[in-house]
Structure formats: C-alpha cells, structure tokens
Structure 1
C-alpha cells in the first residue's frame, strides 16, 4: 500500500464519522474506489463508462491511478464520511445508517422508487449463483428469499424486489447448514434474510461469509459455499464453469460524498471524468 493510501485509511479510521457542518469540499478531489474483484466496482465502471475499450477492442478499467482503494463497503463509508474532499460509491441499500450524502445522477435522486420507475439508471442485480443442483437445505433457503416474505425483507431494507407478485413461502423445517459467500454489498441484506428465515425454519443454519463477488463465484464453483453472492452480472467464464445465477434483488449504486459537501448532483459524464482523472478539482464542478 502506498503512503498516500495508508494515510487515507488512517485518516478515515481516526476521525469521527460525522463530518463537521462547515466542511466544504475545495481543491483536489480525493477519489476512492473499490478493489479489483468487487462486484460494485465492476458494475460502477461499466455503468459510468469508466471501463473503456482500447485499440484492440479489449475492455480496460480506466480508474485513475490516484484513487485510494478500499476492500469493503464499510471502509468506503468511513473514508468518505471522514474526508470533506472525498468521493466514492456504494450499494444504495447500505446507506441507511451511513453518515454520507448520496448525489443525484443526471437529475435523478438515488432512491429505490426511482430505480423502479426507471429514472435512476445506475442499478445492477444482486445475484446468487450455484453450481449444479442445490442441496435441499440451500434450495429451501433460496425458495424463501424468492418468496413473498423474502422479497418483503428486501423492500423493507431499501432494495428493489425482483418479483412483487411472489407466492408466500411454504414453511418447511428443512434442517442443514447453508453457506452463502461473496459480495460485501449483498452480505448485509443476506443477514436480514437469514434472520427472517430462521424465524420460520429454526432447524436451519445459515452462514454468511463476506469477501467480494469474484471470490464468491470462485467459492461456488469449487463447492466451498452453496450460494455465491455477486453484486454484478456473471462473467462468461463463470457461466462456462457451470454457475447458474438467480437475481434476488435490484440495487442502485450511489455516488457518495461527505455530508459537508455542498454539491447536490453530477451527470454520468462528470462522474466518469472524475474517476478517469480528467476532473481533479471540486471548483471545476461549481
């Protein structure tokens, strides 16, 4: 880790999550991004055009080399909350208790309702994936997630249901351990789904392991987990390896800044230019 990145992490961990009211962004923009392998980063660079084709037609992540890198949603929130000049991005559903501000994008606020209406277009699926036939315990849990009760948990926690007309869950006491592993963006809602499921099936044991989307897919391919979690679409290589994805929810990606930042919104093009290093100062955006 470079001295700049280390300093950014130390600063974020040492300050209060509540930014002072007078902390107005000025000067250089401190760009914060997720690590390679993160589904949120993969979806972000695709949706904002940060991923671009080179002369050979190959897709290349053009995120500026000056970006500070964090490997989890929670650290991203802490770094942005503690730095008046920071900009980052995170799962919209994870913002409920975060002390950061989500910017409107191209005039649309980052809300679940705007995703449902199609006004906020920076959205991606939350997928779980498995290789081959699920064991009975894992299939029962997935059935709950896709049921009316499971989809209600998703909506109640700020995400968008994929099936608003889902049938009620037919409660069955299916015993056995189920392991879901992967995306740190999906992990919080998976924990909520776990809590709700255990109320109707206390015979089950659900373990949620948090890492990133790529690790989740690798774990599902190798059989380390029952359900891999990916906050992006599956790659062709993952599908060829035998994974079958199921979208359990839709989630927006929010562009976040410190609460003291006076900026209210950006265009897709402005976000792209910030993350590719073309825009480096806050004054450029005012």
Structure 2
C-alpha cells in the first residue's frame, strides 16, 4: 500500500514537471500580438507607450520577443479564446462574446465611453487614394462619408467621422479594388453591401491584409482604395490622400475564464513589454 502511494505521488510530480516544461507556469501570461505592418499594432504600441524613441530619435517597438504574433483580428480572437492565460488586442468593433474585454484604468471599452472621452484608447480608420481616382472610387467614397454611409458605420459599433448629408451620387458602373487593414475590413464589407444596393452597376472587391500592405498597394496602383487602421506615415502622405471614415476603440481582450476584469495602462504596457509575466502580478 505504501509503495502504491509513493508511486502515485511520483507520477503526479512527473506530470507537474512535464506540464511545466511544455507550457510554463500555470499562471504565465501568453501575449498575443499583431504582425509588423498591422495598423492595429501600430496604434496599440503608440497609445500604450510600448513604442519609444531611442537616443537617435528612431521609434523602437518594445513588444516582447515571447509574444505569439498573428496576422489578423480573427486569429487574435481565436487564439485568446483557446488559451486561458492569453491576452491580446483587437478593434472594438470586432469584439464578440468568444473573448472578454477588460476595463482599462477602470473604464469599460464602449462607443459611449469613447464619445464622452472617458475611454482613451481609440484610433482612426483611414482610407487613402492617389489624387486621380476613378469615378466609381470617388462615388463609393462619397457614399461612405454621407449620412447613409456613416449610419452603416455607427450601426456596426464604430463612431461616425463625417457629418455630410445624404448620398446623392452618380452611381457609375465599373469595378474597384479596396485593400488593407483587417480591422477596417468588416465595416468596409458592410459599406460595400449597402452601396451595392444603391448602385447595382458597380463591382467592389475587398482584399484583407494589413495597413502597410494597403497603403503600398494604393501607392503602386494595384488597388483603388487602401485601408489603414492608423494615421498615415510621412512617406505615405507624399503619395496618398487620407480620409478618416470612422473612429474605433481598441479593446484589450483575455480568455473568458480569466478572472481579471480590469488592468491599468501601466500594467498593459508591462505585460506587452514582457516585464510582467504572470497573472499573479496583476491579480485583482
């Protein structure tokens, strides 16, 4: 009997040992970040001070090297939903009930809290074009900025950025390609759907990638309209004209089983820089 107890204890210790080797401590934070070129990443590291200037004035991204890097909003949510120790960040407009958004500095991430300036973590959704664009591209942009288009923006959980009147375009025929940010893509799909009900002569192809790819494609002429979930860089502004079509909050998300419901800005910064590595350090 004594030998059996010792054997069971030994097996338990071995299981704990190998589990720890495979996945780290049971409360180790698993950081999930977007890829380089993502506008969401660019906005996030700027807003939380994870990007800092070095002695030469160059901006350095201090996101921890231990982060799991993924290339779309949907994969961030899937990854966080599948790991109880994970944390990531996404567009507020893309948030669903598969994950939990934490309060930041005690404030819940909502459209209303962004509008009343209580929630500080938000960024613009931009589209960008060259100076000379097709009649269809211009008409689609006119729709987006009209009260009809901005209603689509607000109906999908974003904040309107234009106060222009109802759409009264020319409804030209043709095809345009819109490419870029995976954060902007969901609302752009809704805008496309609404516009095509008004202009059945048009064809719009939307290609989801990231903000930098969208801007490069617009500059190279491989798409008509680029999408960016950040401000345009100086190098991009030399060739492109930006237009803000919506404002969007950033939500910091955790697994639904995670008991943590509030984090300070400094804690988020520490987590994504790799300075805070255990949930025990931020337990409420």
Aligned residues: CA RMSD: 1.3
CA contact 1:105–1:266 (8 Å) conserved in 2 = yes
Q: Secondary structure at the match of 1:197?
A: helix
Q: In 1, distance between residues paired with 2:253 and 2:207?
A: 26
Question: 1:266: which partner in 2?
Answer: 263
Report deviation, 1:98. 4.5
Report deviation, 1:230. 0.3
Q: Secondary structure at the match of 2:49?
A: coil
Q: Secondary structure at the match of 1:248?
A: strand
Q: Please, which moves more after superposition, 98-107 or 207-216?
A: 98-107
CA contact 1:77–1:98 (8 Å) conserved in 2 = no
Q: In 1, distance between residues paired with 2:39 and 2:147?
A: 26
Report deviation, 1:200. 0.7
Larger radius of gyration: 2
Q: In 2, distance between residues paired with 1:86 and 1:51?
A: 21
Q: In 1, distance between residues paired with 2:27 and 2:281?
A: 9
Question: 1:178: which partner in 2?
Answer: 176
Q: Secondary structure at the match of 1:221?
A: helix
Matched, 1:47 2:71: no
Report deviation, 1:27. 1.3
Q: Secondary structure at the match of 1:224?
A: coil
Q: Secondary structure at the match of 1:133?
A: coil
Unaligned runs of 5+ in 2: 1-22
Report deviation, 1:26. 5.2
Give matches, 1:201-220, under 5 Å: 201-220=199-218
Q: Secondary structure at the match of 2:125?
A: strand
Question: 1:65: which partner in 2?
Answer: 65
CA contact 2:139–2:171 (8 Å) conserved in 1 = no
Report deviation, 1:171. 4.3
Q: Secondary structure at the match of 1:262?
A: coil
Question: 2:251: which partner in 1?
Answer: 254
Would you identify which runs of 4 or more consecutive aligned residues in structure 1 move more than 3 Å? none
Q: In 2, distance between residues paired with 1:227 and 1:175?
A: 16
Question: 2:4: which partner in 1?
Answer: none
Unaligned runs of 5+ in 1: 1-10, 12-24
Measured against aligned partners, the alpha-carbon deviations of 1:136-174 in whole angstroms (never above 9, x if no partner) come to 0000000000001100000000000012x3200014331
Q: In 2, distance between residues paired with 1:68 and 1:173?
A: 45
Q: Secondary structure at the match of 1:121?
A: coil
Question: 2:113: which partner in 1?
Answer: 114
Corresponding residue to 1:239 among 230, 237, 244: 237
Q: In 2, distance between residues paired with 1:221 and 1:57?
A: 27
Aligned residues: 260
Report deviation, 1:108. 1.2
Report deviation, 1:125. 0.3
